[in-house]
C-alpha cells in the first residue's frame, strides 16, 4: 500500500487524510494517509525518515511550505513562482516539489462557485505565504487587475515585483488601496485567527459581488460576516479550495482526477 501523509504544525485538525481517503475510494485505490506533527527544526529529518520508510508523497502545510521548497530537487512552475511547496513527490532518484494551492483556489472559484476570473478586478488582503502561493494561477486567468493590500506594505510591493511579468498587479498598504471597482475580494490574511477583520475603507466593498475567505471554519468566518454586514451577499470560505488543492495533489500522485463535489458535500454535512 502506498504511504502518504500531511506534515505541519499544528496538524491535528487537518482534513487532508479524510479527503484523500474519500478520493481513493472513488478509484478503489488502497492507500495509507497519516498526519505528522513536525516540531521546529525537524522538517528535514521527518521528510528523510518518511521517504526512507517507503513514503510516496507528502502534503506540506503551515509553517513548512518554504522548507519544502528548499529541499526539493525539482520544482514545478507553480512551486517556482510561489517559492513554496505544498506537495512533495518522492521517487528513487529525487524529491519533486509542486504547489497546488493556486490551482485549488482557481478551480474552487470557477467550477464550484461559477465565478469567472478573467477581466475581473480583484482585491486581495494579505501578502504572506498563502497569498504568494495563489498569485501565479490567478494571474494566468487574466484578471483585469489584482491589488494586493497588506499591513506590512513592503511585502505587498515585493509580490508586485515578483509577479508583474504575469499580469497587472499592484501592491499597497491596507490604507492606501486605490478606489477601484472591485468585483472580488479575497481574504488571505491570518487576521481571522485572532478574530479580527481587515481594517480597510468599507466603501471599497460597494461594487464587490463576491467575498471569499481562504480560511474555513464550521460556521461563517469573521471575514464572511464582516463582508455580509457591509452589503456583500455572496460570500464563501476556503473549504472548497482545500478540497481542490487536495484533488490536484491526488492527481499528481495517482494520475487520476477525483470528483471533488461529492467530497465537498460530505464535508459540509
**Is residue 17 within 8 Å of residue 35, measured between CB atoms?**
yes
Shortest CB 230 distance to ligand ATR, Å: 17
Residue in the structure block whose three cell numbers are 521517487: 91
C-beta of 55 vs 129, nearer to ligand ATR: 129
β-pairing, 145-150 vs 121-125, is parallel
Q: What SS3 state is found at 232?
A: coil
Interface map 38-77 toward ligand ATR (x if CB under 6 A): ------------------------x---------------
Residue 93, exposed/middle/buried by CB under 10 A (0-12, 13-18, 19+)? exposed
| Catalytic option among 2, 35, 65, 83 | 65
Active site residue 83: no
Shortest CB 186 distance to ligand ATR, Å: 12
Single out the residue of 75, 85, 127, 236 in contact with ligand ATR (rule: CB under 6 A). Answer: 127
Shortest CB 197 distance to ligand ATR, Å: 8
Interface map 191-210 toward ligand ATR (x if CB under 6 A): x--x-x-x------------
Q: Does 104 participate in binding ligand ATR (rule CB under 6 A)?
A: no
CA distance 210 to 101: 20
Piece in contact with ligand ATR (CB under 6 A), picked from 15-23, 99-107, 151-159, 250-258: 151-159
Crossing angle for the helix pair 260-268 and 16-26, nearest 10 degrees?
140
| All cell numbers assigned to 99 | 504547489
| All cell numbers assigned to 242 | 482545500
Q: What SS3 state is found at 99?
A: coil
Single out the residue of 14, 150, 221, 245 in contact with ligand ATR (rule: CB under 6 A). Answer: 150
Query: Taking phi first (over 0 means left), then psi (-120 to 50 degrees means alpha), and beta for anything else, what does residue 231 get?
Result: left
Residue 28, exposed/middle/buried by CB under 10 A (0-12, 13-18, 19+)? exposed
C-beta of 36 vs 62, nearer to ligand ATR: 62
Chain contacts with ligand ATR (rule: CB under 6 A) = 62, 126-130, 150-152, 155, 189-191, 194, 196, 198
Amino acid at each position: 500500500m502506498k504511504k502518504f501523509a500531511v506534515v505541519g504544525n499544528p496538524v491535528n485538525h487537518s482534513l487532508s487524510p479524510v479527503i484523500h481517503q474519500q478520493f481513493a475510494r472513488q478509484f478503489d485505490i488502497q492507500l495509507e494517509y497519516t498526519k505528522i506533527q513536525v516540531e521546529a527544526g525537524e522538517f528535514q529529518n521527518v521528510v528523510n525518515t518518511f521517504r526512507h520508510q517507503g513514503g510516496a508523497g507528502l502534503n506540506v502545510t503551515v509553517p513548512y511550505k518554504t522548507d519544502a521548497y528548499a529541499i526539493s530537487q525539482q520544482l514545478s512552475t507553480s512551486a517556482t513562482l510561489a517559492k513554496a511547496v505544498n506537495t512533495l513527490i518522492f521517487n528513487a532518484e529525487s524529491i519533486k516539489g509542486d504547489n497546488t494551492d493556486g490551482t485549488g483556489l482557481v478551480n474552487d472559484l470557477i467550477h464550484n462557485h461559477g465565478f469567472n476570473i478573467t477581466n475581473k478586478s480583484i482585491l486581495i488582503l494579505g501578502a504572506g505565504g498563502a497569498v504568494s502561493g495563489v498569485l501565479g494561477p490567478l494571474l494566468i486567468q487574466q484578471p483585469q487587475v489584482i491589488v494586493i493590500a497588506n499591513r506590512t506594505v513592503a511585502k505587498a510591493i515585493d509580490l508586485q515585483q515578483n509577479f508583474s511579468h504575469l499580469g497587472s498587479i499592484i501592491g499597497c498598504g491596507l490604507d492606501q488601496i486605490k478606489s477601484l471597482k472591485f468585483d472580488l475580494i479575497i481574504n488571505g490574511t491570518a487576521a481571522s485567527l485572532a478574530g479580527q477583520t481587515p481594517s480597510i475603507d468599507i466603501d471599497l466593498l460597494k461594487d464587490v459581488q463576491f467575498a471569499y475567505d481562504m480560511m474555513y471554519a464550521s460556521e461563517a468566518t469573521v471575514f464572511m460576516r464582516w463582508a455580509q454586514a457591509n452589503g456583500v451577499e455572496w460570500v464563501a470560505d476556503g473549504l472548497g479550495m482545500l478540497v481542490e488543492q487536495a484533488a490536484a495533489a491526488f492527481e499528481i500522485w495517482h494520475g487520476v482526477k477525483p470528483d471533488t463535489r461529492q467530497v465537498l458535500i460530505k464535508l459540509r454535512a
